[in-house]
Structure 1
Amino acid sequence: MIRHLKEKGYTRPILFTQFWEQNSTRMRRRDSFIQAVEEIYGYTPKPQEDIFLIDHSEGINTVSQLKLMRESLRTGDIPAVIGTNSITTARVYHGISELGLSMPGEIGLCGPEDWDWSNELNWPFMIRPHVTTLKVPSTEIGYRAAERLLQKMHQTDTLPQEISLPCILNARESTELR
């Protein structure tokens, strides 16, 4: 996703996330964001410049964070926000709309979790512009989890194992800057 944003001309990838301390998926996505920006853009992302927290229960709303993000931009920066999950991405979408920003002209938006449950109910198609997402291989995740569980049941000394599965980028209008 980061490589896609750079190829499209975005100069500033931004991560919007919720608190990650008690959520390994959010933590992993934040760490992956930092690593990818370092590798592809050549700098280390910083909190309150490149990584923004939202938590409506704590009063940290999306619009205020988008405003802070815009204040942190340098002249010539073209930001693209990555939401850590579909909820965060949808909140950012609504915040962008509320602020009247043009997408993809002034800001790009993308996020993970294009679960592809049904083409008719797939949330990235329900809004305009359609949102760029990563398709998560949910069926394969289920198969792998079941295999590991069965293996653990029969071999209790089996060590934990992390399995990474490839995702598919679905580039759509929200990041089509060029």
Structure 2
Amino acid sequence: MSHTTQRPSLVQIARAAGVSPATVSRAFNRPALLSARTRDHILHTAGELGYRPDRIGSSLRSGSTKTLGLLLPTLENPVFAACFEGAEARAREVGYSVMLSTTGYNAERETAAARDLLDHRVEGLILTVGDPATSATLAELQSSDAPFVLAYNESEVHPFVSVDNHAAAGDMIAHLAGLGHRRMALITGPLEASDRALHRLEGARQRADALGLPVPEHLAMARHTAVDHERLGHLLARPAAPTALFCSNDLLAAAVIAALAEQGLSVPGDLSVCGFDGMAFGGLMVPALASVYQPSHDIGRQACHALLQRLEGHHVTGERLAHRLIPGGTVAPLIPAVLS
């Protein structure tokens, strides 16, 4: 014999809590109208009865789904997973949930995923795009008046939360220069799929120029987190090969270090290598990875907060969070023998 567990009604909760059904309804739909003591009593009673709010029915009645969309390039990179956790934590604080989709750094998939999220009636979007200046996705969102906030991207016209990629990369170049390195190379994924990598390259080159250093070389890989061993080998085989490799993200830096080991080169003995992101796994590497730390959890949290502000009618602009250098053991002072 099967048994069906039925959701207790508002009337049943009201009877058990000793309040009116209208008061129970307020506890779930307009909690600010009740005292904390009354609200907590009703929620506790409802929990004991096994009640869960019917969010679908509530959204149909109120016209609000209490759901935000989050569009990220990938979850392969822990940076974006931390961003998601930060956004979700902030959303939960005000009774919202987050619906996630990834784009694989593909512009067409990016636009399609944004449309899918809007079709699911999310109230706004937090998203990372290839380049805000040329993004068809953002143009479409603007034409439909869909509220959005960028995460990691920087923009002069759209609200965003990021670090100053230009300055952050420049600070790492200055750090390497302080250790005696003059010949450096930037290793990135495809620049057309990541304005962050482009800003880091530009920032590195500008700082090198200001310091009177040779222009850092640029080596673009086919993917943002994988190394083309042949192209890396060609770079290092040049007569005036770089003594330090600055990778546009930590996963790429880890892949470069592994590729160098396969070629019989040690880090930092033969080459210094650093990344960008400051992810926790870098501290577990031996030696620990030198990197530029950006607060990905806070980027997600602040981007969500900014979107919630937009939904309430507030004007939101750009916000750059602080970065810092993680010296790490994969970067070392240049010894004279390397220069010979």
**Same fold by TM-score greater than 0.5:** yes
Sort the Cα spacing of 1:51 and 1:73 in 2 relative to 1 into closer, same or farther, 3 A. farther
Is 1:111 the equivalent of 2:280? no
Is 1:170 the equivalent of 2:326? yes
Give 5+ residue unaligned stretches, structure 1.
116-121
One-letter amino acid of the structure 2 residue matched with residue 129 of structure 1: P
Aligned-partner Cα distance in 1 for 2:173–2:223 = 27
- Could you say which residue in structure 1 is the equivalent of 2:264? 100
Q: How far apart are residue 43 of structure 1 and its match?
A: 4.0
Larger radius of gyration: 2
- Could you say which residue in structure 2 is the equivalent of 1:66? 232
TM-score (ref. length: structure 1): 0.78
- Could you say which residue in structure 2 is the equivalent of 1:54? 221
State which drifts further: 143-152 or 104-113: 143-152
TM-score (ref. length: structure 2): 0.43
- Could you say which residue in structure 2 is the equivalent of 1:123? 281
Q: What is the number of equivalent residue pairs in this alignment? A: 162
Aligned-partner Cα distance in 1 for 2:318–2:231 = 33
Where has structure 1 moved over 3 Å in runs of 4 or more? 41-45
Pairing 1:4-153 to 2, within 5 Å after superposition: 4-45=175-216, 50-55=217-222, 61-74=227-240, 79-115=243-279, 122-153=280-311
Q: How far apart are residue 145 of structure 1 and its match?
A: 1.0
Q: Percent identity?
A: 22
Structure ranking higher in helix proportion:
2
Q: How far apart are residue 73 of structure 1 and its match?
A: 4.5
- Could you say which residue in structure 2 is the equivalent of 1:3? 174
Deviation string, structure 1 residues 63-89 (Cα, Å, up to 9, x no partner) = 212212113352xx6511111112211
Give 5+ residue unaligned stretches, structure 2.
1-171, 335-340
* Residues 293 and 326 in structure 2, CA contact (< 8 A), matched pair in contact too: yes
Aligned-partner Cα distance in 2 for 1:38–1:154 = 45
* Residues 236 and 242 in structure 2, CA contact (< 8 A), matched pair in contact too: no
The alignment's C-alpha RMSD in Å is 2.5
